Amino acid sequence: MGGFQASFQKDGGCVVNKLWPPLVTPDYTPYLAQIAGCDGVCQGFAGSNPIRFMKQYASAGLKYQVIAGEAGADDFLLKSFGDEAVGLVSAAPYTLDLESDANARFVDGMLKNYDAIPGQYAALLYSNCQVLDAGLKAAGGEARDRDKFMAALKSVSLTDTPRGPIKFDHLNNVIGTIYIRRLGKEGAKYGLKLWNKTIHTYENVSQFWTWPEKDFLAHPVYSRDYPPLTRC
Amino acid sequence: MSFWLLLTVNSITFGGLLFLLSAGFSLIFGLMRIPNLTHGSMFMVGAYLGSTFLSGELGFITNFWTAAILSAIEVAVLGALMERFLLRRLAGQPLAQVLVTLGVSLMVADLCLMGWGGDPISVETPSGLGGFLRVGPAVFPLYRVAIIGIAVVIAIALWLTLERTRLGAMIRAGVDDPQMARVVGIRVSRLFTIVFGLGAGLAGFAGMIGAPILSVYPGLDQDMLPLALVVVILGGTGSLLGSFVGSIVIGFIYNFGQALLPELAYFILFLPMVIVLVVRPQGLFGGQVL
């Protein structure tokens, strides 16, 4: 959420309020009652909480556009969301609707072996294992020489993961594609009624987004108070 | 203005839901002298069963209210069976009974995970109640207002049962003095089974009633159980009025606490419980010390 706020404000956006419900909140109404006078709401919930949030958001009569990160609109939640989630826009490092051979193979495998429609949690972990696999192969199947294995891991660059091409920066953080999706009914597959449809793609996104590395690392660590709310 | 109105209505709604959950908890606590730690599980099982009835997976389609009543009956039977075949064997050993209920609650949580999977299930708001009630500038979700009505109806029905029927008189006698009740010929053991089943059924019913708001997910049991505990300790065990007042008070503290002092939300939720335990350990309306 800190990253969202920092980038949003850098581009001229204005955050009017920040609310911090506990991670698991059965009823969001006390927080929803405080949302007013804005153009949109960014929710950062995870697990099953986005479902309750979107439902209670709608039933509180709120109509502002909602946006979310990867966990707040994850594809595994699609079967549980109701129509109130239609219009939710999210940014995610994996999207179920990515049309690639690697993703088709992955989704088919998940359906066949686990009878589950995967979301980012499954896809990212699967990609992690692909990286491990590629690193081991590059190191000749030998992980006992740690330095050699680590060097092999760091230089892994893959194109055939479900999330698209990935490689690593010099701090060993992943560089990959970020998909912007809008939740709707169009194009739904695998028996789902709702679908995250990709409307924009950012390629080669690093942990620094558009910030110069030095500026980014000079920031304090993101917290409830950083970045601070600014007067707008 | 509408902020305060919305929160007030929501506090009463949440209080109503808590009352459905905690009325049975309070009666079981008052009569059998044990905190039934499976009560949150009953709430969750009720919601899971109800959502299954609603989905039509069993080959027949039910509407929301039939699903709620069917799941309440099933959970009541489960509760009665548990009392009869597990807790009855440990009669007179409250510690063992509490540990058994704790164990069963963990087992139920895992069984639900096996049966319904880890994905949250969202339950549609019953048809006709999806809209809003407009009062001046404020907008209230109709379903939340309906929950208040349901809670009041159940409260009155329970009150009439306890105050005006033979069964109610026997339950009150059992709460006040189980030994004397036995002496005058009341079959207290059978009463235990009935009250346990009734309490479980109410919790299951509450689970389904709450499902359109809370949805159903693993861990729902452990989210609700502490709330029921706070309500009953605050209101006093075995007292219907106590759980009613306690529920509404906790509903207000829960909602306003989260809105106004989010950092201290849980602290101020449990603070009244601590104060009551120190100052008036029998609870606001309870007859006996725990």
- pLDDT the model gives residue B287: 65
Q: Do A33 and B258 touch (CB under 8 A)?
A: no
From A206's Cα to the closest Cα of chain B, the distance in A is 31
- Yes or no: say if B282 and B290 are a contact pair by the CB < 8 Å rule: yes
Q: Do B259 and A34 touch (CB under 8 A)?
A: yes
User: What gap in Å lies between CA B234 and CA B276, rounded to an integer?
Assistant: 6
By CB neighbour count within 10 A (0-12 exposed, 13-18 middle, 19+ buried), where does B141 fall? buried
Q: How many domains does chain B have?
A: 1
- Yes or no: say if A44 and A72 are a contact pair by the CB < 8 Å rule: yes
Helix, strand, or coil (residue B274):
helix
Q: Do A24 and B139 touch (CB under 8 A)?
A: no
Asked whether residue B187 is assigned to any structural domain, the reply reads: yes
Q: Do A19 and B262 touch (CB under 8 A)?
A: yes
- pLDDT the model gives residue B289: 56
Asked whether residue B265 is assigned to any structural domain, the reply reads: no
Asked whether residue B266 is assigned to any structural domain, the reply reads: no
Residues 20-59 of A with CB under 8 A from B: 20-22, 24-27, 29-31, 33-34, 36, 47-48, 51-52, 55-56, 59
Helix (H) or strand (E) holding A197: strand A195-205
Q: What is the DSSP string of A151-164?
A: HHHHT--BS-STT-
- What are the residues facing A66 on neighbouring strands? A41
Q: Do B132 and A52 touch (CB under 8 A)?
A: no
Going by C-alpha positions, the residue among A50, A17, A55, A9 that lies closest to residue A35 is A17
From B60's Cα to the closest Cα of chain A, the distance in A is 21
User: What gap in Å lies between CA B12 and CA B202, rounded to an integer?
Assistant: 18
Asked whether residue B234 is assigned to any structural domain, the reply reads: no
Buried residues in B211-238 as b, exposed as e (16+ CB within 10 A): bbbbbbbbbbbebbbebbbbbbbbbbbb
B100: tokens are 């058994």
Boundaries of every domain in chain A: 2-218
User: What gap in Å lies between CA B118 and CA B115, rounded to an integer?
Assistant: 9
- pLDDT the model gives residue B115: 93
Please report, to the nearest 10 degrees, the dihedral formed by the alpha carbons of residues A115, A69, A46, B56 taken in order.
Answer: -50
Please report, to the nearest 10 degrees, the dihedral formed by the alpha carbons of residues A184, B208, B79, B244 taken in order.
Answer: 140
Please report the sign of the dihedral spanned by the C-alpha atoms of residue B153, residue B154, residue B156, residue B161: positive
Residues of B in contact with A51 (CB under 8 A): 120, 122, 215
Q: Are strands A65-68 and A89-92 parallel, antiparallel or unpaired?
A: parallel
Of A19, A27, A36, the CB nearest to B214: A27
- What are the residues facing B270 on neighbouring strands? none
Q: Counting one residue from A and one from B, how many pairs have CB atoms under 8 Å apart?
A: 87
- pLDDT 10s digit of each residue in chain B, 290 long? 678 888 888 899 999 999 999 988 988 888 788 888 999 999 999 999 999 998 877 878 788 999 999 999 999 999 999 999 998 898 778 889 899 999 999 999 999 999 998 888 888 888 888 777 777 767 778 888 899 999 999 999 999 998 899 999 998 888 888 888 889 988 888 888 999 999 999 999 999 999 998 889 999 999 899 999 999 888 888 788 889 999 999 999 988 888 888 778 778 888 888 898 888 888 888 766 55
- What are the residues facing A43 on neighbouring strands? A68
From B87's Cα to the closest Cα of chain A, the distance in A is 31
Single-letter code of the amino acid located at A47: G
Q: Which residues contact A221 (CB under 8 A, 6 or more apart)?
A: none
- What are the residues facing A196 on neighbouring strands? A183
Of A19, A20, A48, the CB nearest to B120: A48
* Chain B, nearest residue to A19 by Cα: B262
Q: What is the DSSP string of B126-166?
A: PTT-SSEEEETTEEEEHHHHHHHHHHHHHHHHHHHHHHHSH
User: What gap in Å lies between CA A41 and CA B98, rounded to an integer?
Assistant: 45
Q: Give the residue numbers spanning the domain of B184.
A: 17-222
- pLDDT the model gives residue B288: 61
Cα–Cα distances in Å, from A79 out to A82, A205, B49? 8, 29, 18
Cα–Cα distances in Å, from B274 out to A6, A132, B217, B230, B265? 42, 52, 29, 9, 15
From A16's Cα to the closest Cα of chain B, the distance in A is 16
Residues of B in contact with A19 (CB under 8 A): 262
Residues of B in contact with A59 (CB under 8 A): 125, 130, 141, 143-144, 213
Of A19, A33, A48, the CB nearest to B215: A48
- Yes or no: say if A85 and A54 are a contact pair by the CB < 8 Å rule: yes
Interface test with A, best of B48, B122, B270 (most A CBs within 10 A): B122
Within chain A, which residues score under 50 in pLDDT? none
- pLDDT the model gives residue B140: 79
Please, what is the end-to-end C-alpha distance for chain B in angstroms?
41
Asked whether residue B89 is assigned to any structural domain, the reply reads: yes
Helix, strand, or coil (residue A229):
coil
B158: tokens are 């329970």
- Which residue is listed with tokens 């159980």? B225
